[in-house]
Every structure is written in structure tokens, then in C-alpha cells.
Chain A
């Protein structure tokens, strides 16, 4: 080190500052991952982490204090910053549907689902499986039958899917669902609109059956309400309508059942709940103990309604693989949308 210092002095007094800056930079720039000794690396890493944590805590404290002061002074507290997430930094997509788009509505009126969605006909669903299914497959289908009203299960047998589609058309079914199982585990879902609707192929994952959900409820046979979240683009809109056409268009609100298809980053999360509205009167003393603010609010309005949810399975996640024009025809069909690897150029690009 001594030599080095001398060197820098010898080189000339005209630029000692940049060297110092460089050294400082080097000290800061050393990443824990660059240290080879594991003990030292762990120590440096722990230290950095602790610093970060303290920093963050300090920031939060400062923010809270500022907010409090602003409230006391009767000023508007500074707006909270919105964290950057992948969703809100999503790449701009010109295919996102806009409510003022006249062509979209005409297209909707003309598409394959309009008969069901305009309540001209009732949805009638045929559920079948792949050739071989066992264990979780049938259990899943049983639960699907309880979720989707007016659905019937038919054994697959050895029929071709095209023959089944013909049969379903004859019997005036409006959609066909095929549950594909692999190694006794459902892994794909095919939703086919009939008679000439599109065919959507989904990957199915994270399946949790009802009996595996803690404190699950048992659904009633009322028509459920349907929640479709975040289907924004043209493609998403179409998938949304396809899903919508599976369910009756007039929910029975007495049943207090909700079926949710929530789209987030192109994954469609399925949940099935029962809800109930209750009033908070009975629980007032407990609330008082917890928070003083709430108790004040409660003192003013004594009966404050709130909703409770109870999940009643199944629970699964879908991901769209392809959307085909027309009914199932893997070899001769035309695709409206297929996922291709070249389309995955960014984490912030979504299609639904």
C-alpha cells in the first residue's frame, strides 16, 4: 500500500482527487458476491442487509412523522408513492380494449358466444376427460360439476374428440370441457365453444381440491355470481367471454356464491367462495381493545356491515397455450393465437 501511495504522489499533484474517488468507489462497489472467502462474504452481506433494513426503517419513520405532522396542521399529507410492480410497468399494448371502441361491440354481438350471453339460450356444458383418468381427475370433475351449473359428465370411452363434438352439437350443448390428466394429475383444460366457437387450450396447475382446503365450505346449487378480473386485451376479452359463456347469465344472489377468474400476468386464477354479510355489533368490545380509532368510528355507527368469505374449492391456475379458430382440430385448424417462444421478449409483456 505504501508503495502505491508513493506512486500516486510521485505521479504528480495535479490529480490526486480522482484517485481517491476511485478508491472510494471501489470500496462501495465491492459486492459480497465478489468476495471468495465464505465467512467474510457472509459477514459483509449481513452487514449490508442490516444497513439496508435500518435505512428503510428510518425512511418509514420519517414518512409517518411527516404524515402525522401534516394531519395535525390540517394539511394534505404528501401522497404516498406507488411501488413499481411488473403489472403497472407493463409494456404498452395497442390491443387493449377501450370502452369507446364501437367495432369491439359490434364484434361482440357477432361472435360465437353472443347467443348465450344475450340470454337467447341457456348454457349447457358437457364435461369429459382424456382417455385415461383416475384418482385426482374424477375428483376434480366432480367439483367442477358442482361449480358449473347445468353441466353433465360423460365418460370419454374410446371416442374421438371430433365425434364427441358432433354428438354434443346434436344434443345442443353450448360448450365442451375436456380435462386432461397426466400421471393421475389434471394438467390441461380444453374449453370448446359449440357449435363453431373457438377452442381454448389451457395449462392447468396448482390444483387444490376442496377437501384439501382448510375450513372449506360446501357450495349450494344456486347459480353463482361470476367475477372476471383484468381481461383487458382483445385476446383477453375473448377468453373472458368464453369463460363467461360457461355460466348462467342470471346469478341467484340468494346463494351468495362467487366464482372468480382473476387474471394476473397472464395466469388465470380460479377461486370459488361463499360470502356472507354480517354486522359488527357483537364484536364491538374486542375491536375497542385493538384499536382506538376504529372504536371511535364504531361508536358513531354501531351496526357496520362487513363481509366474510369462505372458500369452497377447488382452487387452480390456468395459463393459455393456444386459442383456435373453430372447434378442436389440432392438425388442420387455424389458430387465432398461439404462444411462441419468440414472443417472450420481456417480463413486462402480457397477452391477456
Chain B
């Protein structure tokens, strides 16, 4: 008999992923434990139209009334309901400056999760950033009819860069700082409350041959949710750089990965692992404390990776890109859990974290168990690692910072780092508590 390579799909935990593609379609893929964890495309929103190509997407997946913001190529930004795809409203980006959307496409979009106190609950705040560096924060009031949207509250617009193209932007966990970077634009950090630049990176020195590699950042992410000082950026010259605002303006660690530009960077929950995807479809995880490659994700992925998403609970990541497959991987074993063919060049992928809760009660305990096992088992050695094998660079950094910065802050930080393990445990327990509550509600 011929050897066959039909994928043995080990099945993924129950999850729900949203993918966005070049024809402006939004596809929902769900895996349920009833079907053996085989993900399937269940819904498709929107009509195929090339001018509506999705450039950026951001989701606020709170329990009640989640929102999804999508920036399209024709300059409109749509806010949708990620549960059923209903359009709340759409706004055009053209109005203010009169710049054609084709020339100045949106490159970054963030939907703020925290509510603005002045505004009512039926509103949302959006940060948009265009290629030319026009960043703006606007709040929108959602009224009953989708037609009229009132822009309320503070609407701030500022320019992030003088020249060059902004290609990546990211808002940190507390949503008060934001990163921007791109082609010919060094990474810079902005305070969103005052719209002030607080930090700019310095390009690395010329190499031993005296050759300077031009600045070209393609992707960026914060290392952990609650620390806005450390972030990771991927460059076009296949480098992944770790910056520490509090330490120095040049990158702390630089990692080279293969030969094609880094196209996607995503952080893990543990605060030091980074997932990187590049232009020829290689996906790998890197430990940013040491800058060591932990391993590659092998799975016949042949097209450039455009986006990586980490599931907030399960040890699972999803990647998508130009080979039009949505792939789900196990983080620990780095094996491919499943691949779904979605027909178009995909630009973005997002996880809906509340999906498991919508499952029936029968599946819930199982999911919880899985979650517990995978969190506790690998958690312990990692903690040991952090304490017993302190990395040289990190130590020096720590010292430097403690000298430079205010004592209180650094002290706090160290404490928090030491208690990292405990903290995560407490977090988990709180999560579990929440879940139990939910069960009761159900």
C-alpha cells in the first residue's frame, strides 16, 4: 500500500478562532470536544470583495458584550459582534485629513478593553495608526441604528513618525503605553494618556565590516502583559530583538532566525517565551531570557506566516498566513494539532477565549483538567530555571536599572518577579473560582 501522510490529528481542546483574509471575509473555526477536537469552519461573515481586505483586527473578548474591530483596505473600520458577526457600526477613516485610504492604509488597530469612565457602556474606544504615522484615539457611541455613529469624548490625533512607514504597533496590557515601529522608523514607545513619546530605540552599531543594516521593523509585541518596559521586535533582516526601556536604548538581546524576514511575533503567557514566524513559513519559539531557540514547529507550513495567536488558557497557538491554512499547534510538544484550509490568503487570527464557557457542562470539567495538568506540570521546572540559572545579561540589566531608576519601582518589580510562580498560581485559582461561579450561573 502507498505510504500516506494523512495528518493524524490529535485533536485540539475546544476553541474558537476568528481568521481574517484578503477578500475581507471573516471565518470562524470551532473545535468542539464532542467531535474529537477536529476544528471546522462554521461561519463566514461578509461578502468576498478585494477592496475590503482586512489589514488589522483587534478584539475585546470580555464575557459580556464582546466587540471586534476590523480595519479594511478601503479605509473603513468596522466594529462587529464576534459572536454572531452583526455589524455594530462602521466608520470611515478618510474624513479627517482627506487622504486617500489606499495611500495611507491602516497598519495598527487596537480596541480598548477598559471602559472610559465618562462614557456610557455602549461605547468603544479605538486606537488607529496609519502607515504614515497618523495615530488617533477616538471614542464612538453606539446608538441603536447602525447608520449614525457619534464620535464622542476625547478624540486625539498625533503623528508618530516624521518619515518612513509604520508597520507594527502594539498596546500593552494596561493600555496606557503603545509601541510603534516600521520601515525606517525605530521602535518608539508612547504614553497614550498624554500622547507623548517617552522612549526611542537606538539602532544597533555597524557590524565588523562597517555595514549598517537599515531599520525595518515588521512586528512587535510586549514580553508580558503587565510589564510595559520589555518588548520584542522582529526585523526584516531576520532578527528578533529584545528591548528593555529601563536598561538601554539598544537591544538587550538579538537573536537571528533563519534567512527570511520575521513576519509575526507573539508572546506567551509565561512572560519569557516568544513565538516567531517568518516569511518562508517557519515557526519557532524562543526563550527571551537567554535568547535561545527552544525549537521549531514542523508541519509542512509552506507560506509566509502573517499572524500568530496564543490561546489565553490552553497551551495552544494558532498561526495563519499566505498558505491559507489555519494551523493549531501544541506549545509544549510543538506538534501540529490540526490544520484547516480556509481558501484565502489569511492576514490575521484571533482566539475567542470565552468559547469554552459556552460549551455544555459536560465538557467543562474535562477542559479544566487539561488546563490544570498542562499548567502545573511544566510550571515547576520553569520556576526552578528562573531562580537557579540566572542569566548573566539579565542580572546586569537588573543592577543597572536599580541604579538608574527609582528604588521603589525596582523593588516592587523584583518582588513581583520572585513571586512570579506564586502569582501565577493565585491567578489560576482565581480563574478557577470564576469558572465555578460561572458554573453556578449556568
Contacts and interface: CB of A to CB of B under 8 A. Distances in A.
Contact of B23 (A95, A110, A331, A333): A110
A94 B236 contact: no
Contacts of A345: 3, 5, 300
A339 B4 CA distance: 19
A89 B1 CA distance: 10
A213 interface: no
Contact of B303 (A91, A92, A337): A337
Contact of B300 (A106, A107, A342): A342
B241 interface: no
6 contacts: A91-B5, A107-B23, A110-B23, A333-B279, A336-B345, A337-B323
B196 interface: no
B4 A103 contact: no
Interface string B291-307: 00000001010111000
B280 interface: yes
A102 interface: yes
Interface in B1-56: 2-6, 22-23, 25, 48-50
A339 B304 CA distance: 12
Instruction: Name the residue among B2, B259, B281, B324 with the largest chain A CB count within 10 angstroms.
Output: B2
A234 to B, nearest CB: 7
A334 B263 contact: yes
A336 B5 CA distance: 22
Interface string B223-259: 0000000000000110000000000000000000001
Contacts of B300: 340, 342-343, 345
B4 to A, nearest CB: 6
B343 A103 contact: yes
A103 B344 contact: yes
B304 A346 contact: no
A270 interface: no
A332 B259 CA distance: 9
Contact of B4 (A91, A95, A110, A335): A91
A346 B4 contact: yes
A332 B261 CA distance: 6
B18 to A, nearest CB: 17
Given A338-B280, A346-B5, 8 more contacts: A103-B343, A234-B324, A335-B279, A335-B302, A339-B302, A345-B5, A347-B2, A347-B3
A63 B177 CA distance: 81
B106 interface: no
Interface residues of A, number: 32
Given A101-B343, A106-B48, A334 B236 contact: no
Interface string B252-284: 000000011101000000000000000111000
Given A109-B50, A333-B279, A334-B322, A342 B304 contact: no
B2 A106 contact: no
Nearest to B236: A332
B298 A346 contact: no
A103 B298 contact: no
Contact of A336 (B259, B261, B322): B322
Contacts of B323: 336-337
A335 B48 contact: no
A104 B324 CA distance: 12
A155 interface: no
Given A102-B48, A234-B324, A334 B279 contact: yes
Contacts of B261: 331-334
B341 A94 contact: yes
A15 to B, nearest CB: 33
A346 B2 contact: yes
A345 B25 CA distance: 33
Interface in B175-224: 216
Contact of B304 (A91, A101, A104, A336): A336
B48 A103 contact: yes
B343 A337 contact: no
Contacts of B280: 335, 338
Interface of A: 89, 91-92, 94-95, 101-104, 106-107, 109-110, 234, 325, 331-340, 342-343, 345-349
Interface residues of B, number: 33
A340 B260 CA distance: 14
Contact of A91 (B6, B216, B322, B344): B6
Contacts of A340: 281, 300, 302
Contacts of A337: 302-303, 322-323
Contact of A103 (B5, B23, B263): B23
Contacts of A336: 303-304, 322-323, 345
Contacts of B5: 91, 345-346, 349
Contacts of A333: 260-261, 279
Nearest to B48: A106
A101 B23 CA distance: 14
Contacts of A91: 2, 4-6
A339 B324 CA distance: 16
B344 A335 contact: no
A106 B23 contact: yes
Nearest to A94: B341
Given A335-B279, A335-B322, A107 B344 contact: yes
Contact of B281 (A103, A104, A338): A338
A259 to B, nearest CB: 29
Contacts of A102: 48
Contacts of A332: 216, 236, 260-261, 279
A231 to B, nearest CB: 17
Nearest to B299: A342
Contacts of A89: 2
A200 to B, nearest CB: 14
B304 A334 contact: yes
Contact of A335 (B6, B216, B260, B324): B260
Pick the 10 closest A-B CB pairs, nearest first. A110-B50, A334-B304, A106-B48, A345-B5, A334-B279, A336-B322, A94-B341, A335-B280, A343-B300, A337-B302
A18 B22 CA distance: 67
Contacts of A92: 6
A82 B96 CA distance: 68
Contacts of A107: 23, 48, 343-344
A342 to B, nearest CB: 6
Given A91-B6, A107-B344, A343-B302, A331 B259 contact: yes
Contacts of A347: 2-3
Instruction: Name the residue among A94, A332, A333, A342 with the largest chain B CB count within 10 angstroms.
Output: A332
Contacts of A101: 343
Interface in B84-125: none
A56 B341 CA distance: 45
A102 B47 CA distance: 10
A325 B304 contact: yes
Contacts of A331: 237, 259-261
A335 B343 contact: no
B165 to A, nearest CB: 13
Contacts of A335: 260, 279-281, 302-304, 322
